[in-house]
Amino acid sequence: MSAVMWFRRDLRLLDNPALLAAITAARDSGDDRVVPLFVLDEALWGPAGSVRQAYLTRSLDALRASLGGSLLIRHGDPVSVLPEVVRAAGAASVHIAEDFGPYGRSRDIAVEGALGGVPLVRTGSPYAVAPGRVTKDDGTAYRVFTPFYRAWMRHGWRAPADDIPANVDWRLPMATDGIPAAPDLGALILPAAGEQAAWERWESFRSSGLADYAENRNRADLAGTSALGHHLKWGEIHPRSMLVELTDSDEVFRKEICWREFYAEVLAHRPDSARVSLNERFDQQMRWSEGPAAEDAFTAWAQGRTGYPFVDAGMRQLRAEGWVHNRVRMVVASFLVKDLHLPWQRGAAEFMHWLRDGDLASNAHGWQWTAGCGTDASPFYRVFNPVAQGLRFDPDGAYVRHYVPELAHLAGAAAQEPWDHPDGYDHAYPQRIVDHKVEREVALADLAEMKKP
């Protein structure tokens, strides 16, 4: 009998244990047929936003090409779709990489119940070490990154899975609903999608960026990061495939992969933390700005018109590319929470709307780290100075000039401080909407008030 491979966040053929399990199951039953399936689930598609929708359509198209054109796309609720596909294919098993997200877990349990005894076989996950595998000696979850990293390293990970065999029969048992048309993104430019693009990006970074990663990763004006987040988001490459190629000198990059796994661990143990502060006092007792002025401030931040060049460059990069440099993500997040006194959830939602690499666990907990209310968080009293950060991590102003054309006439570091130059506002760049020094003191006073018994 055939087997169904239900792709979700593993849109690749290489190093795919679930796919290998599906092929093995089919061949053990005397049948070479494997049905490659992707379900376009409205519960995920709708909230994804146009940027991730567009990227997903491209990734699915690349996966379809790698399968020789045989990819079954079905639109609908997986609880209904999977039994239909199983019946049409005469399948004896359905194979998946385990999903540890809040929605994914409940969905898979519901699908399992609807399959009428056909097993839903979980093999592998989107992570080098699946959530729940690394715990303290007493079995509880880690709440601090550094001890988690040490335990994660001691645990280790499997070697990449074998390549899939040749001559798999990818025959489809029913008509496909097709890949939906990609939303119109206007001027926003997306990078190439798919497994081949992921490997090309990894090889390029490994050969030309990895050696200098520790030194350059915080420089917004340099291409010092891997820019692999969107490939990892959709599983076009598995983190294990990269980890196996790292050496002892690559620990800083290895830690960045581990941060992704740590945040997945946190979300798996506290599913509500996608929207609720782990330190709930921040939601219940912190004084947040409200009213028309607060809404105007949020709009200025989202559109990159705060009057602080480094912040504005980051928010404009988000809308131009569906991506923001990681250092800049922290700076714009700090500005929203601590200069504009708005809750992190609003910024996290804005990011998820625009990011091509929007990952629920990493996004929510990255924001909570900066806001000072999450696991292993940066203290709230650490307030990023948006000017000092720009001068340090974009010292010649190249990043600002690229994304904020109103300041392109200012040479060097002058682009970071247009208020200090007679011609700084000659091209309609906005004035600063707040005084950072004043708002920092307000934020610290709010923190002190929240901490009162």
**What are the structural domains of the chain?**
2-125 (3.40.50.620), 127-159+195-269 (1.25.40.80), 274-451 (1.10.579.10)
Give yes or no: 251 in active site. Answer: no
pLDDT of residue 378: 76
pLDDT at 451: 86
Band the pLDDT of 312: cuts 50, 70, 90. very high
Please, are residues 257 and 128 in contact by the beta-carbon 8 Å criterion? yes
Is 344 an active-site residue?
yes
Q: Is 288 a catalytic residue?
A: yes
Q: Which pLDDT band, with edges at 50, 70 and 90, does 376 fall under?
A: confident
The active-site residue out of 323, 344, 354, 369 is 344
Catalytic residue among 288, 350, 417, 439: 288
What per-residue confidence (pLDDT) applies to 115? 98
In the set 259, 301, 354, 369, the catalytic residue is 259
Taking only the tens place, the pLDDT of each residue in 328-357 is 999 999 999 999 999 999 999 999 999 999
Q: Environment class of residue 363 by beta-carbon count within 10 Å: exposed (0-12), middle (13-18) or buried (19+)?
A: buried
Residue-level pLDDT at 30: 87
Q: Among 326, 350, 417, 439, which one carries the catalytic annotation?
A: 326
Residue 79 has pLDDT above 80, yes or no: yes
Say if residues 9 and 97 touch (Cβ distance below 8 Å): yes
Q: Is 67's pLDDT higher than 80? A: yes
Computed over every residue of the chain, the mean pLDDT equals: 96
| Digit-coded pLDDT (tens) for 436-453 | 999 999 999 999 999 887
Catalytic residue among 112, 256, 417, 439: 256
Contact between 314 and 329 under an 8 Å Cβ cutoff? The reply is yes
What is the pTM assigned to this prediction?
A: 0.95
Q: What pLDDT score was predicted for residue 32?
A: 83
For the stretch 90-138, pLDDT in tens is 999 999 999 999 999 999 999 999 999 999 999 999 999 999 999 999 9
Whether 152 is catalytic is no
